[in-house]
Structure 1
């Protein structure tokens, strides 16, 4: 029996150190992650009595590379783990002058826990009163599924109850991407509308109505792509852009300690 599989290779510029990985997508199961398996091939005559280290480095870019001038750098790096691979030892502590001379990008993708699919669809309601009229308006909203994939229809059920003395004339519904960068002292938050719909209601006092509106979470046109977070790619030649997936965190992880971007999606309804 012949077993075939793909191997990824990266070599140093002088061809003395080679790194091989069996995969470049490391799956994240929220509570744990897959191991990174690979091998390092070195030239002993080049290494001599020096040591060779393998590191897992997280690199976060929060600005465009084209804007980096005069030493300004829009990236932050965090060494997640370091291990001496030659000569092999059980553990070690790397110093600042110890550099891995070969780097190969890997991609960590999250796997959706099965219990997320069995959760009830999201729903919510709000009742508001106003200074310009008496009574209240109640808006109830529910979705048809707990989880959505990109380009999948999102059916939004809206129930509006008008108990004021004025007409409710419009209904606005949006699907939005929320993003947060908690590692900065001044936490940056951003909201971006992906798709929206607006309907005329003309709902008189004492009346109620039910509406079902279908929207799709789509990547905005190229001129507005810089306003949303997209899924990263291992190669620059990958065709098509996809929205970043919702960030799932274990219950014991503090949001303010996350080194990266927290992404979520909401449906916003306004009458």
Structure 2
């Protein structure tokens, strides 16, 4: 009975050993085979991929080479055609331009040679009003008598007053008026050149320019204003409101002929005001204020060190306040103001309707208020504009029972008023800079005849009384 279990156990041991040996062999051989197969598959895949990529890249590169070669060929052809066309068009344009330029130059030169050549020579363009006299306008005109063909040459001096901006001109109505026009015949000369020559500059010009040069001479009348212009606004266009002087030379059969621009020449000049400095007159103004419920008054006195101040010179105002009243004075302000008066005499000799009589009465009262002249048989049209050009506000105060004496300095400069529309300025030539308009000084006996723009300045002192 004991022999059988022993044999069974031995058999089982042998089976287990065999199984383990077989299992070891299988586990060793199978992975090896699998790995070998995988290696073969990977190698085959890599080889196939390399072959495919090589073929594909070769095909793509060939196609790209063909496309690039075709694009380059097409681009070369297109550029060649375009450049050829452009060069042909440019050649045609240049040829046409040269032909047109030759024709235009021929026509212009022909016209210029057929038109009278006029040149005006003047020693200066600013003519000073010295109150007692005005510098005369003189110069020399150079012409070509061969091209005149029997026509005459005239020189005109004119003073024009434009009392409205150019953009206001509507329906053929221009807001301008010729205040003074005088015309002189220069060629054929009515007098000997020696009698018409008035200064050394004219003599030098006549000697330098030769026999085709002729002198001219004009004198200003006493009733003309100086060159003044109102400063336009930023949006204004066209000519501004101004008093302008002009010298014009032209040719024609008679002096009233229509002036051809190609046979004329214009030159703007200025009539400027000069005032000699006088230390004898010291401007002074004083006044007395009486307040309700105050026994004593307030006395204010304003004085200037001199009557004449030149452009760029500071204006010093002496203020004296004697406050004997019961009020306190504060916020004293001093300002310099420019008064511009636009004057024009309208030819209305018959006041046959109520509107004319009323209008004349209103203007007469205004002119009387400002102590300006007026006429009974003509309507004196005037516009007054008062503009502050400089000023200051101080914190000084004058309590009741005290006094103040102080000097205030003002600077009336155009640089501080560049954007002030309607400000009166000295007339300017072209685009050169100018100044605030000079005060108009007119003889008393001719004041009633002056038209245009009259300018004056005044210093104003203002203050606030408590209560």
Which of the five TM-score ranges fits, normalised by the shorter chain?
0.7 to 0.9
* Partner Cα separation in structure 2 for residue 85 and residue 98 of structure 1: 17
Residues 114-137 of structure 1 deviation map (CA, whole Å, 9 limit, x = unaligned): xx4233331110112235755421
1:247 aligns with 2:440: yes
Q: Show the counterpart of 2:412.
A: 217
Once the two structures are TM-superposed, the CA of residue 139 in structure 1 deviates from its matched residue by 0.6
Q: Show the counterpart of 1:3.
A: none
Distance 1:241 1:35, change over 3 A: closer
Unmatched segments (≥5 aa) in structure 2: 1-111, 192-253, 346-379
Once the two structures are TM-superposed, the CA of residue 39 in structure 1 deviates from its matched residue by 1.7
Unmatched segments (≥5 aa) in structure 1: 1-10
Q: Show the counterpart of 1:7.
A: none
Q: Show the counterpart of 1:34.
A: 135
Equivalence map 1:72-221=2 (5 Å): 72-89=173-190, 96-97=256-257, 99=259, 101-113=264-276, 116-131=277-292, 133-184=294-345, 185-219=380-414, 220-221=416-417
Which is strand-richer, 1 or 2? 1
Distance 1:132 1:181, change over 3 A: farther
Check conservation: 1:155, 1:215, Cα contact below 8 A.
Answer: yes
1:21 aligns with 2:122: yes
Residues 180-224 of structure 1 deviation map (CA, whole Å, 9 limit, x = unaligned): 122252311111101111123432222211121111102243321
SS at structure 1 position matched to 2:147: helix
Distance 1:14 1:74, change over 3 A: farther
CA RMSD of aligned residues (A): 2.6
Q: TM-score, normalised by structure 2?
A: 0.49
Q: When the two structures are aligned, how many residues end up with a matched partner?
A: 251
Greater Cα radius of gyration, structure 1 or 2: 2
Distance 1:174 1:117, change over 3 A: same
Once the two structures are TM-superposed, the CA of residue 265 in structure 1 deviates from its matched residue by 1.2
Q: Show the counterpart of 2:15.
A: none
Residues 70-117 of structure 1 deviation map (CA, whole Å, 9 limit, x = unaligned): 434232223342211112226xxx76446593321112223323xx42
Check conservation: 2:116, 2:147, Cα contact below 8 A.
Answer: no
Check conservation: 2:154, 2:255, Cα contact below 8 A.
Answer: no
Check conservation: 1:55, 1:79, Cα contact below 8 A.
Answer: no
Q: Show the counterpart of 1:8.
A: none
Q: TM-score, normalised by structure 1?
A: 0.82
Q: Show the counterpart of 1:262.
A: 454
Check conservation: 2:320, 2:403, Cα contact below 8 A.
Answer: yes
* Partner Cα separation in structure 2 for residue 248 and residue 201 of structure 1: 36
